[in-house]
Amino acid sequence: METIRRNIREFDFTLVGALVGLAVYSCFALLAATYGKTFTSDQVPTHVLTKQLIFEAAGFIALAATAAFDYRSLRKVHWYLYGASLVLLAAVFGMHAVNGAHSWIQLGPLSFQPSEFAKLTLIISVAHYMASVDEQEFPDYGLKQALVIFGLWVPPFVLTLKEPALGQALVMFAIVMTMYVVFTKRVYFVLLTVALFALVIFLAVVALRFPDQAKTALTALVHHGVLQKFQAERIITWLDPNYDPTGAGWAVHQAQVAVGSGEVFGEGLFNGIETRGSWVPNQWTDYIFTAIAEEFGFVASSGLIVLFLLLVYRLVRIAGMVQDPFATYIIVGVVGMFGFQVFQNIGMTMYLSPSTGITLPFISYGGTSLVANYIAVGLAVSAALRRKKLRFH
Amino acid sequence: MKKDANPKLGRINFVYSLIFVAMVSLILRLGYLQIVRGDSFRTEASMSMLSHLPILPSRGRIYDTNGVLLAYDKPSFSVVLTNLKSPEQDLHKLTQQLAPVFGVKASELYQTMEKTVNGPTQVRIFQNATPAQVSYIYEHQSELPGIQVVEDPQRAYRYGDLAAHVIGYIGKITQDTYDYYVNKLHYSLDQLVGRDGVELQYEKYLQGKPGARVVQINKLGVPIKEFGLDPKPTPGDNVVLTIDAHLQAEAQQIVVDELQRVRQQYGYNPTNAEAVMLDVKTGGVLAMVSYPYYDPNWYVDPKAYLAHEKYLYDPVLTPMINHVIQSPRYPGSTVKPVNVLAGLESGVIKPDTVIYDPGYANVAGYILHNWTYPVGQGAVTPDKAITESNDTFLSYMALWMGNWHGAVPPGETLAHYLVTDRIKGLNTLFYWESLFGLGRLTGIDLPNEVAGHFETEGRVYDLDRAMKALKTKGYFDDHGVVYDLAAASIGQSQQFTPLELAQYVMTIANNGVRLQPHVLKEIVSPDGKVIKRFKTKVQARLKINPEYLKVIKEGMLGVTTSPSGTAYGSFYDAPYTAAGKTGTAQIMMGKRTDHISMFIAYAPADHPQVCIAVMVPGGGESSDTAVPLGRQLFDAYFKEHHEFFPRSQWTNDQVPSNWTQMSAYTLPETTEVSSTIP
Task: Give pLDDT, residue B675.
Answer: 40
Q: What is the overall mean pLDDT for chain B?
A: 91
Q: What per-residue confidence (pLDDT) applies to B445? A: 97
pLDDT at A234: 82
CA A62 from chain centre, in angstroms, equals: 18
Contacts of B225 in chain A (CB under 8 A): 276
Nearest-CA residue of chain B relative to A390?
A: B4
CA distance A261 to chain B (A): 4
B85 touches chain A (CB under 8 A): yes
pLDDT of residue B82: 83
Q: B120 versus B292: which is more confidently predicted?
A: B292
Which residue in B2, B34, B85 has the most chain A C-beta atoms within 10 A of its own C-beta, making it the best mutation to test that interface?
Answer: B34
Q: How confident is the model at residue A344 (pLDDT cuts 50, 70, 90)?
A: very high
The shortest C-alpha distance from B40 to chain A (Å) reads: 8
Q: Is the pLDDT of residue A199 over 70?
A: yes
- Would an 8 Å CB–CB cutoff place B677 in contact with chain A? no
Q: Work out the minimum CA distance from B30 to partner chain A, whole angstroms.
A: 7
Residues across chain B: 678
How many Å apart are CA B86 and CA B174, to the nearest integer? 30
Alpha-carbon gap, residue B165 to B320, rounded angstroms: 8
Residues A250, B87: C-beta atoms closer than 8 Å: yes
Q: Tell me the per-residue pLDDT of B397-427, one tens digit each, with 9 for 90 and over.
A: 999 999 999 899 999 999 999 999 999 999 9
Residues B504/B442, Cβ–Cβ less than 8 Å: no
- DSSP string computed for B303-362: HHHHHHHHHHT-TTT-TTS-HHHH--B--GGGGHHHHHHHHHHHTSS-TT--EEESSEEE
- Above 50 in pLDDT, residue B184? yes
Query: What value does the mean pLDDT take over residues B630-644?
Result: 97
A46-50, B12-16, B83-87, B339-343: which range is least confident on average?
Answer: B83-87
How far B46 CA sits from the closest chain A CA (Å)? Answer: 7
CB-nearest partner of A264 from B13, B34, B50:
B34
Distance CA B306, CA A155 (A): 71
Q: Which residue of A has its CA nearest to B30?
A: A298
Give the per-residue pLDDT at A248: 78
3-state SS, B223-278, equals EEEEEEECCCCECCCEEEECCCHHHHHHHHHHHHHHHHHHHHHHCCCCCCEEEEEE
Interchain proximity B3–A293, CB inside 8 Å: no
pLDDT in tens, B110-148: 988 888 887 777 788 888 888 899 989 888 887 888 888
> Are residues B31 and A302, on separate chains, in Cβ contact within 8 Å?
yes
| Average pLDDT, integer, range B50-56 | 78
CB A60 within 8 Å of CB A26 = no
Distance from CA of B14 to the nearest CA of A (A): 9
List the 195-224 stretch of A: residues with Cβ below 8 A of B: 196
Q: Could you say which residues from 116 to 135 on chain A have a Cβ atom under 8 Å away from some Cβ of chain B?
A: none
Model pLDDT for residues A175-190, shown as the tens digit of each residue:
999 999 999 988 989 9
Interchain contact A339–B (C-beta under 8 A): yes
pLDDT tens for A254-285 read 899 999 999 999 989 988 888 887 888 888 88
Interface probe, candidates A261, A310, A363, A387, chain B, greatest B C-beta count within 10 A: A261
A37 touches B: beta carbon within 8 Å: yes
Assess whether pLDDT exceeds 50 at residue A386. yes
B47 CB near a chain A CB, below 8 Å? no
Q: Is B34 on the interface with A (CB under 8 A)?
A: yes
pLDDT of amino acid A6? 66
pLDDT, position A102: 80
Confidence category of residue B296, pLDDT binned at 50, 70, 90: very high
Burial class of residue B610 in the structure, from the number of CB atoms within 10 Å of its CB (0-12 exposed, 13-18 middle, 19+ buried): buried
Between A98-112, A140-154, B73-87, B149-163, the lowest mean confidence (pLDDT) is in A98-112
- B12:A312 CB<8 A: no
Q: What percentage of residues in chain B have a pLDDT greater than 70?
A: 96
Q: What is the predicted pLDDT for the residue at A88?
A: 93
User: Which of the four pLDDT bands, split at 50, 70 and 90, describes residue A391?
Assistant: low
Q: How buried is residue B435: exposed, middle or buried, by Cβ count under 10 Å (0-12/13-18/19+)?
A: buried
- Is B216 an interface residue toward A (CB < 8 Å)? yes
Give yes or no for a contact between B581 and B607, defined as CB atoms under 8 angstroms apart. no
pLDDT in tens, B354-390: 999 999 999 888 888 888 788 888 999 999 999 999 9
pLDDT of residue A2: 61
Whether ipTM tops 0.85, in short, is yes
pLDDT digit string, tens, across residues B211-230: 888 877 776 666 667 777 87
At A27, is the pLDDT very low, low, confident or very high (cuts 50, 70, 90)?
Answer: very high
What pLDDT score was predicted for residue A362? 96
Q: Could you give the residue ranges of the DSSP H alpha helices within B73-221? A: 91-102, 106-118, 131-139, 164-167, 175-178, 197-201, 203-206
Q: Characterize the bridge pairing of strands B170-171 and B193-194.
A: antiparallel
- Cβ-defined contact of A277 to B35 (cutoff 8 Å): no
Chain B CB within 8 Å of residue A257 CB:
yes
Residue A159: phi and psi, rounded to 5, are -60, -40
Whether A210 shows a pLDDT value over 90: the answer reads no
A249 touches chain B (CB under 8 A): no
Chain A interface includes B12 (CB < 8 A): yes
| A8-14: long-range pairs with CB below 8 Å, 24+ | A10/A384, A10/A385, A11/A381, A11/A385, A12/A314, A12/A318, A12/A381, A12/A384, A14/A310, A14/A314
Interface of B with A in 48-67 (CB under 8 A): 49-50
User: Which among B186, B163, B154 has a CA at the least distance from the CA of B173?
Assistant: B186
For chain A, say whether B22 makes contact (Cβ under 8 Å): yes
Chain B nearest C-alpha distance from A230 (Å): 15
Asked if A293 lies within 8 A of B34 by C-beta distance, the reply is: yes
Q: Decide if B338 contacts B433 (C-beta within 8 A).
A: yes
**Contact at CB, B6 and A328, closer than 8 angstroms:** yes
Residues 297-356 of B with CB under 8 A from A: none
User: pTM score, two decimals?
Assistant: 0.69
Selecting from B14, B20, B218 the residue whose C-beta is nearest the C-beta of A309 gives: B20
User: What is the predicted pLDDT for the residue at B4?
Assistant: 58
The predicted pLDDT at position A40 comes to 45
Q: What is the pLDDT of residues B250-271, one digit of tens each?
A: 999 999 999 999 999 999 989 8
| Chain A contact for B1 (CB, 8 A cutoff) | no
Q: What is the mean pLDDT of chain A?
A: 88
Among B82-96, B421-435, B526-540, B609-623, the range scoring the smallest mean pLDDT is: B82-96
Res A42: pLDDT: 58
| Residue A276 to residue B225, Cβ atoms within 8 A | yes
Q: Which residues of B touch A335 (CB under 8 A)?
A: 15-16, 19
Taking 80 as the threshold, does the pLDDT of residue A192 lie above it?
Answer: yes
Residue bearing the bigger pLDDT, A63 or B140 = A63
**For testing the chain A interface, which of B16, B51, B116, B147 should be mutated: the one with the most A CBs within 10 Å?**
B16
B117 in contact with chain A, both atoms CB, cutoff 8 A: no
For the residues B202-213, what does the mean pLDDT come to? 92
**Given an 8 Å threshold on Cβ–Cβ distance, is A182 in contact with B30?**
no
Chain A residues in contact with B147 (beta carbon < 8 A): none
pLDDT at A3 (0 to 100):
63
Using the predicted structure, report yes or no on whether residue A392 has a pLDDT greater than 50: no
Residue type, B453: H
Q: Determine phi and psi for B81, rounding to 5 degrees.
A: -105, 130
pLDDT at A90 over 60: yes
Question: pLDDT tier at B449 (50, 70, 90 boundaries)?
Answer: very high
A24 close to A263: Cβ distance less than 8 angstroms: no
Determine contact: B25 vs chain A, CB below 8 A. Answer: yes
Query: pLDDT band for position A363 (50/70/90)?
Result: very high
Q: How confident is the model at residue B543 (pLDDT cuts 50, 70, 90)?
A: very high
Of A39, A256, A319, the CB nearest to B6: A319
- Chain center to CA of A292: 18
